[in-house]
């Protein structure tokens, strides 16, 4: 009996000591746990930084792809417009791409990627999906220089599509403006009238869109009206153009016929 009581008393003391020692053990292990927690926290922070960098790079790549897709869609739209224009022409045409712009601010010249080897000739008219852009003034074996209709050295006989009134349209030196010269003050020309090539002079085929009348001013006592027009072609934006081969002009060699659309 005495032994049992001793054992019970010892167990009670041990139990009491266990409650007293437990906080001490927890406190003594706390620095180690804090170290583990700090290490895991630092690792998690580093991981988050790396993941953030990766997501930023992926975002930049996706944005670049989206911009590229937008550009491709816009170019496809312009090419479809150009194709629709070529289907409406009675002449044969050759598709060319703009590859350079003259840096001289006082001239409006462009360079295209078709030349003598493709049948291009001096004086050949070019147009985009909306209307006449200009004419070829210099031909090299694989490239050509084009004078735009907005250049101050360019002139073209035109007529008003509504009533056939004839005039001469010259470049103003500005890409968004043409001027009609020597228009009698009594001529039946109104804002909104469409201008087309008249075919006179033999340089441009008849009936190609040139622009729309934007200004008509009558100065009392002056024999001629002040008339301006906005070009139909996108002179500052078009990337692909059409070279027109009228029926009596020289056609490209057979080896290059894959680029020519017979109409």
Per the prediction, the chain carries an average pLDDT of 77
pLDDT in tens, 36-69: 665 666 667 778 888 887 777 777 666 656 655 6
| pLDDT in the model for residue 251 | 43
CA distance 144 to 97: 11
pLDDT in tens, 179-193: 999 999 889 999 999
Contact between residue 116 and residue 96 where contact means Cβ atoms under 8 Å apart:
no
Contact between residue 187 and residue 147 where contact means Cβ atoms under 8 Å apart:
no
Is 248's pLDDT higher than 70? no
Question: pTM value?
Answer: 0.64
| Highest mean pLDDT out of 100-104, 105-109, 156-160 | 156-160
Tell me if residue 8 falls in helix, strand or coil: helix
Extract the tokens encoding 201.
Answer: 């002079």
pLDDT in tens, 211-238: 999 999 988 888 999 999 999 999 988 8
Confidence band, pLDDT 50/70/90 cuts, at residue 259 = very low
| pLDDT in the model for residue 179 | 96
């Amino acid at each position: 009996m005495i032994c049992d009581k001793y054992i019970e008393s010892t167990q009670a003391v041990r139990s009491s000591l266990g409650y007293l020692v437990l906080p001490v053990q927890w406190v003594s292990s706390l620095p180690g746990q804090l170290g583990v927690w700090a290490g895991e926290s630092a690792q998690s922070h580093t991981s988050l930084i790396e993941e953030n960098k990766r997501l930023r790079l992926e975002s930049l790549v996706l944005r670049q792809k989206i911009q590229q897709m937008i550009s491709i869609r816009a170019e496809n739209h312009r090419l479809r417009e150009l194709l629709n224009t070529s289907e409406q022409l009675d002449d044969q045409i050759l598709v060319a791409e703009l590859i350079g712009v003259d840096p001289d601010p006082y001239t409006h010249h462009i360079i295209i990627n078709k030349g003598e080897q493709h049948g291009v000739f001096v004086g050949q008219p070019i147009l985009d999906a909306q209307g006449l852009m200009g004419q070829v003034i210099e031909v090299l074996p694989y490239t050509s220089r084009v004078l735009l209709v907005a250049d101050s050295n360019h002139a073209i006989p035109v007529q008003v599509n509504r009533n056939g009134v004839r005039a001469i349209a010259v470049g103003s030196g500005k890409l968004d403006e043409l001027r009609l010269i020597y228009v009698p003050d009594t001529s039946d020309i109104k804002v909104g009238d469409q201008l087309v090539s008249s075919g006179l002079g033999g340089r441009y085929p008849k009936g190609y869109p040139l622009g729309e009348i934007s200004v008509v001013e009558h100065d009392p006592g002056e024999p001629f009206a002040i008339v301006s027009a906005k070009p139909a072609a996108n002179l500052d934006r078009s990337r692909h153009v059409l070279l027109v081969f009228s029926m009596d002009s020289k056609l490209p060699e057979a080896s290059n016929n894959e680029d020519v659309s017979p109409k």
